Structure 1
Amino acid sequence: MGKKKVMSLFVVVLSMAMILGACGGSDSEGEANGSPSELSLLTGGTGGTYFPLGGELANIIQDETDIESANAQSSGASVENMQILQDGDADVAFTQTDIAAYATNGELMFEDGKVDNIQAIGTLYPETIQIVTLEESGIASVDELKGKKVSVGAPGSGTYANAEQVLAAHDITMDDIDAQHLAFDESTEGIQDGTIDAAFITSGTPTGAVEGLSAQKQVTILPIEQDKIDKLIEEHPYYAEDTVKSGTYGLESDVKTVAVLAMLVARSDLDEDYVYQVTKAIFDNSDKITHAKGEFITADSALEGVGIDLHPGAKKYFDEKGVE
């Protein structure tokens, strides 16, 4: 075979290889460029608010974007979600605003290593600090938790940090209670069975696990007094005053407490247009959310209390909406 024929054949083969590579490599290229065809959305435990709400958001994202599929995944919630995103094993996640701040600043449970690859999509709704007990327990105030068996969440979790801070505002330490480290479902089961006296649950109201308990027993939510609320907000600015409304869990009157905000964050290496699509899908279609927390999810309030940098894709959306 002559040199010219060999060279011509080489050019043809090379061209075909380039064409095939371009056609066949689109999925992997999308992954590399931060546009995964299957979006993974980390939520929380099945007894909380993140999981059912996350399922609805995943359906909206799948219906309203070019993303082939979006899957809501149960997880250990805020702290674990930040660690999973840091490892690159998911794309978007629910978290609390305080936990996102701890993660990006390398504070508290993230002292051994900050999370440097997350940016905000937007805040969603208040995550209420609910101190749950039964009316029959006779416990009527936070001060009366001393010496009691109280579930405070897993050490290093967002709920644990909230419990520690609320107790500290009342001059109570973890050593002053018999601290139990249970998930929400386990906490309400323990209260119903009488194996624990009370539980801290940081979640949007109504919380499924507490609703289940209230269907069996008369639930009490312990109030936080105004001076303690003021102290908490002064020392930890990511807290906001909140109220558990009468009628929730069968309560006969409003209960004053505090809340952090639930938010969505994304890996910072996701493409701008990809995150723009996700952000637009959620906030332009929040009226389709049937969960009770859907009423709080609006573009107008989504930048309140964010506390960390916005993802460029989310910023593009909110700039278009005129939200600062």
Structure 2
Amino acid sequence: MKLLKFTQFSLRDLLVSVAPTVLLIAAACALAFWIIDPTPPRVVNLSTGQENSAYENIGKRYQQAMAKHGIKVVLQPSQGSQENLQRLNKGDTDIAFVQSGSTNEAEAERRGLVSLGSLFTEPLWLFMREKKAVTNLTKLKGLKINLGPEGSGAPRLFRQVLQANGVMPDEFTSSALENTPATVELLEGRIDALVFAAAPDDPLIQMLLMTPGIKLFDFTQAEAYARRLPFLSHVTLPRGIVDLGRDLPARDYQLIAPTATLVAREDLHPSLVDLFVQAASGIHSGAGWFQQQGQFPSPRYTEIPVAHEAAKFYKDGPPFLQRYMSFWLANLFDRLWVVLLAVGALVLPLSRVVPPLYVWRIRSRVYRWYGQLRLVEQGVDEGKPADELLRRLDQIEERVNRMTVPLSFADEFYGLRNHIEFVRQRLRTNT
């Protein structure tokens, strides 16, 4: 069994030498794991829209989709697109619905905003009381029109459209009621018209399209608007799409439409970007009144730069690991790549430190006794009693004999013993 004590290397010394390197690598891995690539947050704020609006209803669908992956989506009601954009700029929300045309590429980059894709077209709807209906926007002068609250996207959009027609804001009476009370005012005849910019599945849009005495404005110059204002698209409301049996509407209507875009702050965790885009694909990919199957979500129709993860999804589909395992497990493996990179960056340089450290530790065990041996020799020069020095030398030799060193360092060990004997002989000579 004693032979087991003599090996080519000392496991204990090796472990002690390696320990600082292992601790440093572990600390670097922890830093990379938790700071460089942190865990995705489990709570995300989504700014939606007015009560009973399409934005609010769609926000609830995102809430349900994300809850399946353990992500809580807190819905933040708003007046609409413009208020959502303001919240993103101030950092008061993480992600929001924003209409195209609400900002521009340079401003979005400066504010640190990214697009997760266009979701659907939301036409500009101009509903009028039948008695006040017009066929040209220049005839709106003198009418009472509700443009919607300033936080929504409709007022800014409609003013741009009116400006293109040479109609100034002071040439008609405008109000800023929310969609629901504005609809009541229109039905009661206290206003002449109201403006929406919303998806066709908005409950108020559906109701107004079927209400007798309410007429939808036909943008017969829709293609010209789309050319003049690039963020707009020309869409057609087909005859009978609302109610085939009642033939509503009784003819095709030409409309102009911005697109609703899912916009996030650029510091939103990349894994959450992936998850939201996947949710968008499930929610918006179907056919609709103004879109074909698979047309949305899309990286097109937006002036805001598309997030890298979103662009990758539209090109290649979901991340490889998320196709076969749960979101959190896939995220864990994705983050482990960061740890492997940290380990790779440290192992090679630190591995060069370990062998010299190991050799120094073994040799220092031998060399520290040379200091004691030197003190004994100095005692001879100082004339100390030989018997006392011999006893000290015997103690040193006894402790050295109990010391174990790897066989590869046996020459240092036996060299030390020879030097002990050399000092002993010198002491005896001087006695």
Measured in 1, the distance between the counterparts of 2:46 and 2:144 equals 34
Aligned residue in 2 for 1:91: 94
Q: Among 74, 79, 88, which residue is 2:77 paired with?
A: 74
Distance 1:306 1:83, change over 3 A: same
AA partner of residue 74 (structure 1)? P
Aligned residue in 2 for 1:47: 52
Correspondence 1:306 to 2:302:
yes
AA partner of residue 259 (structure 1)? A
Distance 1:297 1:276, change over 3 A: farther
Could you tell which deviates more after superposition, 71-80 or 131-140?
131-140
Q: Which ranges of structure 2 fall in alignment gaps of 5 or more residues?
A: 1-22, 319-431
> Once the 2 structures are TM-superposed, how far is the Cα of residue 274 of structure 1 from its aligned partner?
2.2
Aligned residue in 2 for 1:110: none
Give the conservation status (yes or no) of the 8 Å contact 1:94–1:262: yes
Q: Deviations over 1:92-131 (max 9, x none)?
A: 1111111143xx5449xxxxxx861210000011110111
Distance 1:225 1:317, change over 3 A: same
AA partner of residue 237 (structure 2)? V
AA partner of residue 47 (structure 1)? N
Measured in 1, the distance between the counterparts of 2:235 and 2:217 equals 13
Give the conservation status (yes or no) of the 8 Å contact 1:124–1:298: no
Could you tell which deviates more after superposition, 119-128 or 143-152?
143-152
Where in structure 2 are the equivalents of 1:1-324 lying within 5 Å? 33=38, 35-63=40-68, 65=69, 67-101=70-104, 104-106=105-107, 116-155=111-150, 157-214=152-209, 216-226=211-221, 229-247=222-240, 248=242, 250-283=248-281, 285-286=282-283, 298=294, 302-321=298-317
Measured in 1, the distance between the counterparts of 2:38 and 2:303 equals 27
AA partner of residue 315 (structure 1)? A
AA partner of residue 142 (structure 1)? L
> Once the 2 structures are TM-superposed, how far is the Cα of residue 295 of structure 1 from its aligned partner?
6.5
Give the conservation status (yes or no) of the 8 Å contact 1:85–1:267: yes
Measured in 2, the distance between the counterparts of 1:52 and 1:294 equals 18
Give the conservation status (yes or no) of the 8 Å contact 1:223–1:255: yes
> Once the 2 structures are TM-superposed, how far is the Cα of residue 230 of structure 1 from its aligned partner?
4.1
Measured in 2, the distance between the counterparts of 1:130 and 1:50 equals 16
Aligned residue in 1 for 2:404: none
> Once the 2 structures are TM-superposed, how far is the Cα of residue 287 of structure 1 from its aligned partner?
7.3
> Once the 2 structures are TM-superposed, how far is the Cα of residue 140 of structure 1 from its aligned partner?
4.1
Distance 1:269 1:306, change over 3 A: same
Aligned residue in 2 for 1:4: none
Give the conservation status (yes or no) of the 8 Å contact 1:205–1:244: no
Query: What's the Cα RMSD here?
Result: 3.3
> Once the 2 structures are TM-superposed, how far is the Cα of residue 155 of structure 1 from its aligned partner?
4.0
- How many residue pairs align between the two structures? 284
Give the conservation status (yes or no) of the 8 Å contact 1:286–1:294: no
Greater Rg, structure 1 or structure 2? 2
TM-score normalised over the length of structure 1: 0.76
Measured in 2, the distance between the counterparts of 1:313 and 1:85 equals 19
Measured in 2, the distance between the counterparts of 1:288 and 1:233 equals 24
> Once the 2 structures are TM-superposed, how far is the Cα of residue 57 of structure 1 from its aligned partner?
2.0
AA partner of residue 58 (structure 1)? Q
Aligned residue in 2 for 1:3: none
Question: Which structure dedicates a bigger proportion of its chain to strand?
Answer: 1
Give the conservation status (yes or no) of the 8 Å contact 1:95–1:265: yes
Measured in 2, the distance between the counterparts of 1:300 and 1:192 equals 34
Distance 1:82 1:293, change over 3 A: farther
Distance 1:275 1:156, change over 3 A: closer
Distance 1:137 1:34, change over 3 A: farther
Give the conservation status (yes or no) of the 8 Å contact 2:119–2:280: no
Measured in 2, the distance between the counterparts of 1:163 and 1:173 equals 11
> Once the 2 structures are TM-superposed, how far is the Cα of residue 34 of structure 1 from its aligned partner?
7.9
> Once the 2 structures are TM-superposed, how far is the Cα of residue 157 of structure 1 from its aligned partner?
4.2
Q: Deviations over 1:277-298 (max 9, x none)?
A: 2212331x23798x96797684
AA partner of residue 55 (structure 1)? K
User: Does the residue aligned with 2:91 lie in a helix, a strand or coil?
Assistant: coil
Distance 1:105 1:152, change over 3 A: farther
User: Does the residue aligned with 1:99 lie in a helix, a strand or coil?
Assistant: coil
Give the conservation status (yes or no) of the 8 Å contact 1:132–1:198: yes
Distance 1:216 1:254, change over 3 A: closer
Question: Which structure dedicates a bigger proportion of its chain to helix?
Answer: 2
Q: Which ranges of structure 1 fall in alignment gaps of 5 or more residues?
A: 1-14, 108-113
> Once the 2 structures are TM-superposed, how far is the Cα of residue 267 of structure 1 from its aligned partner?
1.2
Q: Between the two proteins, what is the percent identity of the paired residues?
A: 22
